[in-house]
Amino acid sequence: MENTKILIVDDEQAIVKMVQMVLRKEGFHHIYTAANCAEALHEMERHRADILLLDVMLPDGSGFEICSTLRTFGNPHVIFLTAKASDLDVLTGFAVGGDDYVTKPFNPLEIAARIKARVRRGLFEGSGMMVQDQPAKRVWDFGRFVLDETAGELLVSGESVSCPAQVFQLLLHFCKHPGVVFSKSQLYEMVWGIDGLGEDSTVMVHIRRIRERIEENPSDPQYLVTVRGLGYKLVKEKRR
> Where are the chain's structural domains?
5-120, 139-234
pLDDT computed for residue 238 by the predictor: 60
pLDDT computed for residue 189 by the predictor: 79
Mean pLDDT per 10-residue interval, the chain, length 240 residues: 87 93 92 94 92 92 88 85 72 76 84 83 46 57 90 91 88 90 85 64 89 94 92 78
pLDDT computed for residue 122 by the predictor: 60
Fold (topology level) of 139-234: Arc Repressor Mutant, subunit A (1.10.10)
Q: How far is CA 168 from the centre of its chain?
A: 9
pLDDT computed for residue 154 by the predictor: 94
Burial of 173 (0-12, 13-18, 19+ CB in 10 A): middle
pLDDT computed for residue 130 by the predictor: 38
pTM of the predicted structure, to 2 decimals: 0.59
pLDDT computed for residue 195 by the predictor: 61
Q: Hey, what's the torsion of the CAs at 143, 145, 151, 153, to 10 degrees?
A: 170
Is the Cβ–Cβ distance between 223 and 141 less than 8 Å?
Answer: no
Distance in angstroms (rounded) separating the CA atoms of residues 12 and 182: 39
Strands (E), the chain: 5-9, 30-34, 51-55, 57-58, 61-62, 77-82, 100-103, 139-141, 145-148, 153-156, 159-161, 224-227, 231-234
pLDDT computed for residue 53 by the predictor: 95
CATH architecture of 5-120: 3-Layer(aba) Sandwich (3.40)
